[in-house]
Structure 1
Amino acid sequence: MSSKALENPVNVAPTVGFSKVDLKRGKFQVTIFDLGGGKRIRGIWENYYSESHGVVFVVDSSDIQRIHETRATMAEVLRHPRIAGKPVLVLANKQDQEGALPEADIIESLSLEKLINEQKCRCQLEPCSAVLGYGRTVDKSIRRGLKWLLSNIAEDYEAISERVQRDTAKQRAWEEQDRKERANTGGEVRKPCV
């Protein structure tokens, strides 16, 4: 849902870095972080986990060669203590492509049922195609999925919001401590405590 969503999707490349967009969706004020999925950028994803009330995971359902990598990446994300248990929308994109995996095969290939049961996440999978519409005419499956995600967040908003505040405070405290230690040690980096 970046500013790219307003462009013709035929001319849009996958997200390489990240972008942020704020929008109003019904009664919700939503901030969406569009984070690229390349191996080199995945390291920054954790920086956004604390503030996330829910997750949208976009899967290229036509890229069968990388489905195992996708499964491993998705499992890693959903197992993270600051994500586990939050509602997850899986958009099985590129359904318009020949050879795209159907919904049942995506669920099986990603071991989705097992994963969401282990992490106690509510999950919705929506087969979709981003090129079927853009701007105000976005794919109906994407709209349905976002509506599902927002209503699930709203249903448990108080508990999720409390968790977000707690996790965000911990992350900021860790970042501040890390800055101080870097200043004292000449820039050595350490991993955050979860």
Structure 2
Amino acid sequence: MLMESCWNFLRNSGRPERKVTLAILGLDNAGKTTTVQSIQGENPEDVCPTVGFSPVDLKQGQYDVTIFDLGGGEHIRGMWKHYFSECHGVMFVVDSSDVQRMKETKDTLAKVLRHPCITGKPVLLLANKQDKEGALQEADIVDHLTLKTLVKLNKFRYKIVPCSAVMPIRKKAIQGGLEWLLKTVGRGYNTINERVRKDTAEQREQEEKYRRERAERVRKVREDR
């Protein structure tokens, strides 16, 4: 055990640290914030719904990770796109026990995957709430979300992990899924990171242009008065 730990230290010590930004998405009440707290080793009790945006920083091996915990309410999802340019990958949380909202989940996931800043980037699908009675199994979720079709359309790598963010024995699955996502990002890190750099610069330029145009409109309105 000691020799293995020493070998892992020596093997990782020569690797440069990499900064990775992930977005954790999903419908409201899917368990996104609880999942983030589980990853951090915090108590998931008394979690309040995320309103807007909450960033979380943590260290995972050679990766300095920032997770954007984005609110899943229908009126908030339109804001997700403003954070996509910075993301190296996506964690998408599915409430496995809420069969009635599977179509809404599928449509939301499909919309995310179609976005030009997300298409092709790796996706970790967390089939949460497996502790609930009647929760869908992995194969059923694949069918409900039409994942095979989405993969063909958007050319992305994914892993689906059945889990429960509130059960200690199921939390290990979340950590394993996160490790897979980071390794997948790591394999194509230079390409993905260059894409992130370019997309982020373009978005900031567009936002600055919008601010200038808006300021000019306000100036003209004041002059007309």
- Superposition TM-score, scaled by structure 1 size: 0.89
Q: What's the offset of the Cα at 1:186?
A: 3.0
After superposition, residues 68-87 of structure 1 pair within 5 angstroms as 68-87=103-122
Quote the Cα distance in structure 1 between the aligned partners of 2:145 and 2:48: 24
Quote the Cα distance in structure 2 between the aligned partners of 1:62 and 1:16: 23
2:80 corresponds to:
45
2:185 corresponds to:
153
1:192 corresponds to:
none
Quote the Cα distance in structure 1 between the aligned partners of 2:109 and 2:76: 15
Mind listing any 5+ residue stretches in structure 2 that lack a counterpart? 1-34, 220-225
Contact 1:2 1:20 in 2 (8 A): no
**Mean Cα deviation higher: 25-34 or 5-14:** 5-14
For the pair 1:129 / 2:164, whether they are aligned, the reply is: yes
For the pair 1:101 / 2:133, whether they are aligned, the reply is: no
2:217 corresponds to:
185
Once superposed, what is the RMSD of the aligned Cα atoms? 1.7
Q: What's the offset of the Cα at 1:17?
A: 2.7
For the pair 1:143 / 2:178, whether they are aligned, the reply is: no
Quote the Cα distance in structure 1 between the aligned partners of 2:205 and 2:120: 23
Indicate which of 59, 76, 85 corresponds to 1:24: 59
Quote the Cα distance in structure 2 between the aligned partners of 1:87 and 1:129: 21
Quote the Cα distance in structure 1 between the aligned partners of 2:61 and 2:199: 27
For the pair 1:167 / 2:217, whether they are aligned, the reply is: no
Contact 1:3 1:21 in 2 (8 A): no
Contact 2:125 2:160 in 1 (8 A): yes
SS of 1:40's equivalent in the other structure is coil
Q: What's the offset of the Cα at 1:185?
A: 1.8
1:61 corresponds to:
96
SS of 1:34's equivalent in the other structure is strand
2:14 corresponds to:
none
Report percent identity of matched pairs: 57
For the pair 1:176 / 2:208, whether they are aligned, the reply is: yes
1:190 corresponds to:
none
Q: List structure 1 runs of 4+ shifted beyond 6 angstroms.
A: none
Residue identity matched to 2:202: K
Q: What's the offset of the Cα at 1:6?
A: 4.6
Q: What's the offset of the Cα at 1:44?
A: 1.3
After superposition, residues 104-115 of structure 1 pair within 5 angstroms as 104-115=139-150
Quote the Cα distance in structure 1 between the aligned partners of 2:213 and 2:36: 35
Contact 1:18 1:34 in 2 (8 A): yes
Quote the Cα distance in structure 2 between the aligned partners of 1:186 and 1:64: 48
Quote the Cα distance in structure 1 between the aligned partners of 2:185 and 2:75: 30
Contact 2:163 2:170 in 1 (8 A): no
Q: What's the offset of the Cα at 1:7?
A: 4.0
Per-residue deviation, residues 45-71 of structure 1 (Å, max 9, x unmatched): 011100000000011111111110000
